Structures are given as C-alpha cells and as structure tokens.
Structure 1
Amino acid sequence: MTTYNVDAFPEIKDVQRVELEILMKVARLCEERGFTYFIESGSALGAVRHGGFIPWDDDIDIGMPRQDYEKFLEIAQEELGENYFVQTRKTDPKAPFSFAKVRKNGTTFLEWNKRNIKMHHGIYIDVFPYDGLPIDGLDEHIDKCLKLNKIQFKKYIPDRVGIPHKGFKWKLGAIARRMQHYLLKMYPESLLEGKIEKEYMRHEIKPNEHGFCTCFSFVDRIIFPNEMLFPPQKIMFEGEEFYAPAKLEEYLTLMYGDYMQLPSVEDRVGHRPVEVSVTEELVTH
C-alpha cells in the first residue's frame, strides 16, 4: 500500500479528473490535425509506474516539437471552445511562463507563489515546446536560453515555489528572490520576449534524423536525442491511450534515474495550491 503525504489537498482526485478531460481534448485535436505530442515528465513517469497519475501529482505535462506547438497555438482556442482557455504570454500578458497552459474555465487552482498575479488561475495542463539544438556552440546556446528562462521567471514571479517555510535559510532565499524580482521589473518586457523567441526558436527539430533537442522551460540542462522522443509511442494513462516518448525507459532514466523507486513520504507533494474549486460538469464528448 502506498503512503501519501498528509499535506496532499482533498480535492486532488477532482483536479486530476479535470486535467484528464483537458488532456483528452488536446490529444484529440492534435491527432486530428497531425500535430506530434507526447506526455512527458511526471505524467510519463506516472503512466509507467502507476498506470496514470502519480497519486500526489496535480498537473499533466505534454511536449510538442516547436513547429507543431506554434501551429497548435494558432488554432487551439477556437477548436477547444469556450470551456477552455489557452494561456500564453500573448493571450494573458501577466502569465509568467515561457510555455502554454490549457486551463478549464470556471475552475480555480491558485498556487501560493502566483497568488498575487492577475491572470487566469483555472485547473490546467502544461504544454511545453521542444526546440532543436545546434551541433556547434551547443553549450553557449543552452546557457543563454536557460539564463533567459530564469530571468523571465524571476521577473514575473516574485515569490519562491511552495508554501513558506519557517527556517531562516528559506526566508533569506525568499528575500533575495523578491529583490531580484523588483530589479528585473525594470527589464523591458518587449526586449526580453524578443530575445527569448529569437534564441529558443533558432534551430529546427528534424524528428527522423539524428540530432538533439531540449525544452528550455526546464531549469536543468537535459538534452534528449531525437530518437529518444520521436516517433512517439502509445501508452495507457488512466485507462486511455496517449502518446509518450519513443524510448520511454531511456527517457525516464535520463530524467529520474531509478524511476521506479518511490520518493520519501515528505516529498510526495505537488504544487500545494492555496485555493481549489472544481465545476461539477465535466466535458467528455
């Protein structure tokens, strides 16, 4: 029997039901339009280790090659309809992300470190773009992209991730984060967005050729061989079929090491929202 952290919020099963609904809608749209997608990170891990959600996980992650990601964003809002909101920096300017979220309207999932940001806070799934990497100048390119990503997060999110701790070290880190936030507020938004777009999208992914790609929304320097991700394979997740990375065991080992080993009980937590509300109606058709 698996033991879960007692801090897990009681609505987590309801949140997961809504997230699965969103994933099914997005996956259906991608397959109808021929867009490549795959569940990734904790969602891919959950599919293998738990047959679906990691029990304490409160979001779903999917990835797309940049080309399909951009095409998806062009049509997703109209195709998904009024029950959902496709959140990007363009559709919700206060959103502090370098990737997209698809949120369910009429719901709330308010995370502590984003509680004061005036943006859509509905229950969501994350949609990450994956970008190609150059053969020459690889380290320099990754360093520049990760630096831009950190600047963006610190500019738009004033607080550290997670519920505040009482310890002095945590408080000191929180003060430093606040100082960085206020200093970076002076960095022109248009300049930052332009640099991010130019640098991230410089190199195209060619899925059927040898090469490498990564998701610059990650903080870690994780590089994926193209053949590890493409072409995606089908896997069961909560009783439904979705696409996952091509070499899933290799992918999970790269991401997590011994991925079948459960974390300690105190680490079995998700985003720990401060406010959650779920509508009664689930759209399944």
Structure 2
Amino acid sequence: MSLNYKKILNEIAKNNKDFHPISEEEKSLLQKCLYEMACDLDERCRKYGLKLFLVGGSLLGAIRHGGFIPWDDDMDMALSREDYIKFQEIFEKEFSDKYELRCPNTKYPNGNRFMQIYKKNTVLRTLGEGNPLQPQSIYIDIFPYDYVPINRIWRNAKGIRANVLMLIASCVMDYKYPDKLLQEYLKRDKDGKKFLFYRNIIGRIFCFRKPEVWFEKVDRVITSTRITDLVTSATGRKHYFGEIYEKRVFFPLSTIKFNEHIFYVPNNCDEYLKGLYGENYMIPPKENNKESHFISEISIG
C-alpha cells in the first residue's frame, strides 16, 4: 500500500478552511525562531561538553544552501546516546527557563519516540500534530544515535523488535487519540480504508498500555551502551535498519556554518546524505515535488 502521509495531510488541509499554506512571512518568522532556538541549545550544550549536531534536512540545508532549505520549516538535530542522557539530566537546571522537554523515560509527559524541545510562549498548530501529550508550540526534534550490534542475528532481532514496538506505539496513539480529519479522509480511499482498518486493529489489541509506555519500551530497546563500529538513528525517518552507518561516518564530529553559527555535523556528511537522500542530494527537487506545509496558527510570542 503506497500512502504518502504528508501528501495526505496536505490534501486534507487544502479542503479545510481552518488551515492555510504557510506564507513566506510566517515561514521566515518560524525559521528565525528555530534558528535562534538551535543556536541557544547548542551554546548551552557546549557548556557541559555535549555535542548537538545537525542531521537530516537541516544538514542538507547547511551543505546545499548554507542554512535552511528555502521551503523547509523545521530543524533536525541529534545527540549521541551518552549526550542524550546527560541532556535530560541537566534539562531542569539549564533549559527549563525557556523550553519544555518531551522525551521517553523521563518525568515529563511524552507522546513520541524521540526527544522534542518546545519553546515556551510560542504557538504552532499544524494538521496531523494534534497529539494531546505534546504542546502546540514551536519545537526542535533531537534524535539519539545508538550503537548497533555487529552480530547480524542479534542486530536483526533488535531492529525488528524496535520497529514492531514503534508500530504498536504509533497505532495505540492513533487509537487512543484519533485525528478525525485524517480518518475521514482515509475512509474515502480504498488503500486508506485498509491502512486505517489494520492500524485500528493493532491499536485496539495493544491499548492495554498507554502509548507513552510503548514509546518508553522503544527507547529502552534501542539504547545500547556497548561500543561497536556501527551506529543508527533508530527513531529517524528510515527507522532502525534504514539509518545504519559505520561509526566513522559520524564520529568524531566535524563542524559547518549554518547561517552565521558554527554547528557540529557528522564527520562524513557526503556519505551520510547519500545514504539518506541518494546520490543526487545536491540537486534541489522540482517545484511540484517540494513539500508544501499547512498551518492554522503560529505565534512567536
């Protein structure tokens, strides 16, 4: 079944008067806020020796555009698992004046499989992100990077378990907190109905535990303190198996200029980005393939 989640959300938004395409002015304000957040988080992390680094679209933007991808409106960052844990430990002391933390296996409420940092006194309401466990605020995603077992059997067992638990967690989340607009749209399409039907079955079967408990299980499964020559971002866009790289691709970290700030980045950005986006990652997509984003409200505070 080929269902593009973001395309579905955009189609819903086009036909809903509560949402509108993000304007250039709104996008500029959002990018400015995200950039200021990233710089601030990076500077505070450095005080404790924590190395926050760019990944995903944010790294691609730095390489290809020297900053944000012009049509992008989010920020992707990461920490090694060791730094990821330390960040949680110092959050209350160092970051809670301006930010809220959502992360599995912490005292904070959580409805996602990885860490998200929300800026207080801001508002961002977008379609498909009405999770009641998460603030409706401007945020930055921070992904943990974990070591991967060298033994193929153990690696496959761990990866399959992680992916299954992520599926269960997301299905239980959708079952407990359904997005009515999304469900109504999916019901119009044959593949959409099947997609919704199977996810509802999984959600109903496993709803004996709260979704946040399932997300905590995901986090515990992927956490690995045993150092190997392989790493992965198990909670990233390609999940456990899709983002396995040799450790040397990431560590030791390098640096790059993003706008006017120097951020940490993977050691071999080219190899990482080819794995994530393909050989032609430096060629921008055609106009009709660029993502369009719809929002109902934004406020920087």
Fold shared per TM-score above 0.5 = yes
Q: Which residue of 1 aligns with 2:276?
A: 255
Is the Cα–Cα contact under 8 Å of residues 110 and 273 in structure 1 kept in the other structure?
yes
Q: Which residue of 1 aligns with 2:141?
A: 126
C-alpha distance after superposition, 1:153-210 (max 9, x if no partner): 222244499895796246425633445444432345586355324311134346xxxx
Aligned partner of 1:9 among 17, 22, 34: 22
Distance 1:268 1:103, change over 3 A: same
Letter in 2 for 1:261: I
Partners in 2 of 1:57 and 1:160 — Cα distance? Answer: 27
Aligned to 2:44, the other structure's residue is in SS state helix
Q: Which residue of 1 aligns with 2:286?
A: 264
Partners in 2 of 1:128 and 1:160 — Cα distance? Answer: 29
Q: Which residue of 2 aligns with 1:115?
A: 130
Q: Which residue of 2 aligns with 1:72?
A: 87
Partners in 2 of 1:139 and 1:159 — Cα distance? Answer: 33
User: Are positions 1:204 and 2:226 aligned together?
Assistant: yes
Letter in 1 for 2:170: F
User: Are positions 1:217 and 2:235 aligned together?
Assistant: yes
* TM-score of the superposed pair, with normalisation by structure 2: 0.79
| Residue range with higher mean Cα deviation, 237-246 or 74-83 | 74-83
Aligned partner of 1:147 among 152, 161, 164: 164
Q: Which residue of 1 aligns with 2:77?
A: 62
| Residue range with higher mean Cα deviation, 20-29 or 105-114 | 105-114
Percent identity of paired positions between Structure 1 and Structure 2: 29
Q: Which residue of 2 aligns with 1:273?
A: 295
Partners in 2 of 1:160 and 1:228 — Cα distance? Answer: 42
Partners in 1 of 2:140 and 2:120 — Cα distance? Answer: 13
Q: Which residue of 1 aligns with 2:196?
A: 175
C-alpha distance after superposition, 1:3-26 (max 9, x if no partner): xx9975011111111111110111
Q: Which residue of 2 aligns with 1:239?
A: 260
Distance 1:91 1:52, change over 3 A: farther
Partners in 1 of 2:221 and 2:61 — Cα distance? Answer: 32
Unaligned runs of 5+ in 1: 280-285
Q: Which residue of 1 aligns with 2:113?
A: 98
Is the Cα–Cα contact under 8 Å of residues 103 and 125 in structure 1 kept in the other structure?
yes
- What's the RMSD between the two structures over aligned residues? 2.8
Q: Which residue of 1 aligns with 2:17?
A: none
Shift of 1:104: 0.9
Shift of 1:225: 0.9
Provide runs of 4+ in structure 1 moved above 4 Å: 5-8, 159-167, 188-191
Distance 1:130 1:58, change over 3 A: same
Partners in 1 of 2:181 and 2:269 — Cα distance? Answer: 28
Q: Which has the higher helix share?
A: 2
| Residue range with higher mean Cα deviation, 190-199 or 117-126 | 190-199
Letter in 1 for 2:259: E
Shift of 1:266: 3.1
Letter in 1 for 2:289: D
